């Protein structure tokens, strides 16, 4: 004869246990971040406050809450800049309030170590993460992959074109930031000039002044310094990411001024600010030129301003250009 | 009288045969149409001696293959050198120093060519070769010919806007140092870009190159120079 008592006890025990397990899993799926937001798949809270870990490429991300920020530069400021530096800053006007949905952005520029993982995947799996219209027979190995001045594991990857940056972000389950996302992440809500505030301090970032140890106060000085420069004699160009602790934005993103220019998603259009939407702008007009932001080791103080808009051909690979991803 | 077979005007058997003929004719057309071959893609036969020498790890042996191939002194020899010997397949995995040795060796062989058809291939390679190190090396091949050879000057001008800055910067410097007048309009385009002034090391170097050729760093002066020096 079968005793029913133990059977019913066992069944009830495992049923209740199962309910706990299922509830536990549901709670894991609905894990919340530092700001109480639901965390997307593949992202977890980091040990440091306001930081997140991305499982795929082990990058650290910071969160940018939804809301408005002030994009661009006022007309008055642009006039003052043009008087001193003789460049063109008109692309930064008009200054407007722009609304962006919440997003995450890499705390640092993508490093050579991270990019090496991507190259391994390309070697094994082919070009399945690449932009559909990338040039035929494209090789994703960066130009300076063998240059010991630039290929340190924690230095930002450089010598990559827009297609390389796009493919890396796709592989990592992220995307290139739009230029509005980039700017908000760098300056926050208070219209500041640099990630750390409004006062220029050369030693806070990797720029032409900190690289060469001299003040560059106008374009003539900058041209004279770099024009006659023998690049082969330079021992240091880019610095490992996070080398400048003061170079941090209000949201915790680092190195957004200097080190390497960073590719953005958008096509460049000088007068885009005149007509761009005020919510989540994203310039997708067909163009060979893509936006670059942030300045680099060879940039003077006006180019490392968070509002400065630069651009380059999307196929160009320069020792001054890298990227970071957003999600 | 027209006979109707289940809603068609044709016997189904005949229709099937017609369909088969139609399909077969398309297959025939596609099979006879020559595929546009990539003339710069090395054939397995041309790669073989380079691959075998590379396997030994002996760079002098690899360089000997370059010299042997170059002895033919014609278009095919140069094509083999550039697109088989200096292909990614051969250069990949070599150390920085080994790559440098191979490029210097290849440069010597290419510079020794005398066949006009071979030089056509050498000049074209500055814009067609996919490896930027090879494109940079080619600039050194053209360098001694600049005073006398228009095609050498033109090739250097082409390289000024190379997508890889290592090549472009080298071409910009050469244009200034060798006083290549044909480079002025392109150098101006490097500095004065589509939407205003460009930034970056390339711009600084192009400005210096323009100063060496035209004697001024003032864009208005460059425009004047072009007006006076363009026939």
pLDDT, tens digit (0-9, with 9 covering 90-100), for A229-282: 888 888 889 999 999 999 999 999 999 999 999 999 999 999 999 999 999 999
The percent of residues in chain A predicted with pLDDT above 90, rounded, is 76
Instruction: Measure the CA–CA gap between A104 and A326, rounded to whole angstroms.
Output: 6
CB contact, 8 Å: A319 with chain B? yes
For residue B61, pLDDT beyond 90: yes
CB contact, 8 Å: A8 with chain B? no
The closest alpha carbon to A253, from A47, A50, A41, belongs to A50
- Higher-pLDDT residue of A6 and A100 is A100
Instruction: Measure the CA–CA gap between B27 and B25, rounded to whole angstroms.
Output: 5
Using alpha carbons, list the distances in angstroms from residue A153 to A233, A240, A274, B95: 22, 8, 41, 18
CB contact, 8 Å: B204 with chain A? yes
The closest alpha carbon to A184, from A264, A241, A250, A242, belongs to A250
Q: Which residues pair with A62 in a beta bridge?
A: A51, A105
Closest in B96, B99, B200 to A320, CB measured? B200
Closest in A222, A227, A303 to B208, CB measured? A227
CB contact, 8 Å: B217 with chain A? yes
Cβ–Cβ below 8 Å for A316 and B165: yes
Tokens of A306: 């968070």
The closest alpha carbon to B194, from A65, A124, A271, belongs to A271
Least confident of A1-5, A20-24, B210-214: A20-24
Instruction: Measure the CA–CA gap between B100 and B130, rounded to whole angstroms.
Output: 17
Instruction: Give the SS3 label for residue A42.
Output: coil
Region B72-77: mean pLDDT is 92
Q: Which of residues 40-69 of B touch A (CB under 8 A)?
A: none
Instruction: Give the SS3 label for residue B121.
Output: helix
For residue A202, pLDDT beyond 70: yes
The closest alpha carbon to A79, from A99, A95, A67, belongs to A95
What is the predicted pLDDT for the residue at A75?
94
Interface test with A, best of B177, B200, B216, B217 (most A CBs within 10 A): B200
Query: Which H or E element spans position B221?
Result: helix B219-229
- Asked whether the beta carbons of A210 and A203 are under 8 A apart, the reply is yes
How many Å lie between the alpha carbon of A16 and the closest alpha carbon of chain B? 59
Least confident of A11-15, A187-191, A225-229, A292-296: A11-15
Q: Which residue has the tokens 């000057």?
A: B153
What is the predicted pLDDT for the residue at A315?
94
The CA angle A204-A222-B214, to the nearest 5 degrees, is 165
Interface test with A, best of B129, B204, B207 (most A CBs within 10 A): B204
Q: What is the residue-averaged pLDDT of chain A?
A: 90
In which band, very low, low, confident or very high, does the pLDDT at A10 lie, cut at 50, 70 and 90?
Answer: low
Instruction: Measure the CA–CA gap between A106 and A296, rounded to whole angstroms.
Output: 17
Instruction: Measure the CA–CA gap between B214 and B184, rounded to whole angstroms.
Output: 8
What is the predicted pLDDT for the residue at B10?
63
Instruction: Measure the CA–CA gap between B47 and A137, rounded to whole angstroms.
Output: 18
Instruction: Measure the CA–CA gap between A283 and A112, rounded to whole angstroms.
Output: 29
**Dihedral angle, C-alpha A205, A207, A213, A217, nearest 10 °:** -110
For residue A14, pLDDT beyond 60: no
For residue A211, pLDDT beyond 60: yes
What is the predicted pLDDT for the residue at A31?
85
- Higher-pLDDT residue of A8 and A109 is A109
Q: Which residue has the tokens 């990411």?
A: A241
Closest in B88, B164, B201 to A298, CB measured? B201
CB contact, 8 Å: B99 with chain A? yes
CA gyration radius, chain A: 23
Q: Does the structure's ipTM exceed the value 0.90? A: no
The percent of residues in chain A predicted with pLDDT above 70, rounded, is 91
The percent of residues in chain B predicted with pLDDT above 90, rounded, is 68
For residue A17, pLDDT beyond 60: no
Q: What is the residue-averaged pLDDT of chain B?
A: 87
For residue A93, pLDDT beyond 60: yes
- Asked whether the beta carbons of A118 and A94 are under 8 A apart, the reply is no
What is the predicted pLDDT for the residue at B27?
63
Helix B59-70 vs helix B96-111: angle between axes, to the nearest 10 degrees? 20
Secondary-structure percent of chain B, ordered helix, strand, coil, rounded to 5:
70, 5, 25
A chain contacts of residue B159, beta-carbon cutoff 8 Å: none
For residue B192, pLDDT beyond 80: yes
Contacts of B86 (CB under 8 A, 6+ apart): B102, B103, B106, B129, B131, B134
- Asked whether the beta carbons of A91 and A305 are under 8 A apart, the reply is no
Q: What is the DSSP letter of A155?
A: S
Q: Which residues pair with A69 in a beta bridge?
A: A98
How many Å lie between the alpha carbon of B199 and the closest alpha carbon of chain A? 8
Q: How many residues does chain A have?
A: 327
Instruction: Measure the CA–CA gap between B158 and B184, rounded to whole angstroms.
Output: 12
**Residue A165: half-sphere exposure toward Cβ, Cα within 13 Å:** 33
In which band, very low, low, confident or very high, does the pLDDT at A26 lie, cut at 50, 70 and 90?
Answer: very low
The closest alpha carbon to A300, from A215, A231, A192, belongs to A215
pLDDT of B111-163, one tens digit each?
999 999 999 999 999 999 999 999 999 999 999 999 999 999 999 999 999 99
CB atoms within 10 A of CB B67: 14
* Strands, sheet with A51-54, edge to edge from the N-terminal-most edge strand: A43-45, A51-54, A59-64, A103-106
Region A63-91: mean pLDDT is 90
Q: Are strands A321-322 and A261-267 parallel, antiparallel or unpaired?
A: parallel
Residue B1 CA to its chain's centroid (Å): 67
Least confident of A60-64, A202-206, B20-24, B211-215: B20-24
B chain contacts of residue A268, beta-carbon cutoff 8 Å: 195
B chain contacts of residue A296, beta-carbon cutoff 8 Å: 200
What is the predicted pLDDT for the residue at B23?
73
Tokens of A279: 């919510």
What is the predicted pLDDT for the residue at B39?
66
């Amino acid at each position: 004869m079968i005793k029913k008592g133990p059977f019913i006890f066992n069944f009830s025990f495992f049923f209740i246990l199962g309910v706990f397990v299922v509830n536990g899993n549901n709670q894991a799926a609905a894990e919340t971040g530092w700001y109480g937001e639901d965390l997307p798949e593949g992202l977890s809270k980091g040990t440091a406050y306001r930081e997140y870990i991305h499982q795929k490429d082990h990058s650290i991300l910071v969160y940018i809450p939804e809301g408005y920020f002030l994009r661009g530069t006022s007309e008055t400021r642009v006039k003052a800049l043009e008087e001193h530096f003789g460049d063109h800053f008109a692309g930064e006007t008009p200054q407007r309030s722009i609304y962006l949905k919440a997003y995450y952005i890499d705390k640092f520029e993508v490093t050579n170590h991270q990019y090496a993982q991507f190259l391994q995947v390309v070697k094994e799996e082919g070009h399945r993460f690449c932009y559909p219209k990338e040039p035929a027979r494209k090789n994703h190995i960066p130009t300076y992959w063998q240059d010991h001045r630039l290929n340190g594991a924690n230095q930002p990857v450089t010598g990559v074109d827009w297609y390389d940056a796009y493919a890396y972000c796709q592989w990592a389950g992220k995307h290139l930031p739009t230029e509005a996302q980039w700017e908000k992440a760098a300056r926050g809500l208070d219209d500041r000039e640099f990630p750390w505030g409004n006062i220029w301090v050369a030693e806070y970032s990797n720029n032409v002044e900190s690289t060469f140890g001299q003040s560059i106060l106008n374009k003539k000085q900058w041209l004279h310094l770099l024009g006659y420069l023998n690049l082969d004699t330079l021992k240091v160009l880019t610095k490992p990411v996070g080398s400048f602790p003061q170079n941090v934005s209000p949201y915790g993103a680092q190195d957004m001024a200097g080190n390497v220019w960073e590719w953005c998603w958008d096509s460049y259009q000088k007068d885009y600010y005149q007509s761009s939407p005020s919510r989540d702008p994203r310039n997708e007009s067909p163009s060979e030129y893509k936006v670059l932001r942030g300045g680099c080791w060879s940039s003077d103080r006006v180019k490392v301003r968070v509002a400065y808009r630069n651009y380059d051909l999307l196929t160009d690979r320069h020792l001054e250009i890298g990227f970071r991803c957003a999600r | 009288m027209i006979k109707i077979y289940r809603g068609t005007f044709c016997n189904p058997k005949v229709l099937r045969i017609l369909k088969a003929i139609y399909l077969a004719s398309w297959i025939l057309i596609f099979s006879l149409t020559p595929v546009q071959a990539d003339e710069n893609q090395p054939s397995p036969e041309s790669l073989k001696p380079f691959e075998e020498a590379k396997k030994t790890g002996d760079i002098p042996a690899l360089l000997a293959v370059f010299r042997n191939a170059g002895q033919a002194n014609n278009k095919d020899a140069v094509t083999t050198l550039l697109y088989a010997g200096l292909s990614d397949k051969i250069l990949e995995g070599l150390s920085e120093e080994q790559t440098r040795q191979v490029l210097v060796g290849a440069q010597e062989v290419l510079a020794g060519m005398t066949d006009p058809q071979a030089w056509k291939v050498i000049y074209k390679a500055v814009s067609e070769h996919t490896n930027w190190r090879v494109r940079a090396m080619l600039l050194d091949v053209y360098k001694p010919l600049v005073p006398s050879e228009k095609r050498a000057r033109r090739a250097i001008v082409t390289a000024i806007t190379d997508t890889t800055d290592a090549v472009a910067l080298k071409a910009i410097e050469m244009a200034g140092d060798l006083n290549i007048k044909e480079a002025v309009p392109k150098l101006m385009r490097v500095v004065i870009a589509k939407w205003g002034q460009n930034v970056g090391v390339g711009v600084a170097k192009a400005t210096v190159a323009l100063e060496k050729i035209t004697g001024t760093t003032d864009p208005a002066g460059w425009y004047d120079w072009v007006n006076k020096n363009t026939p």
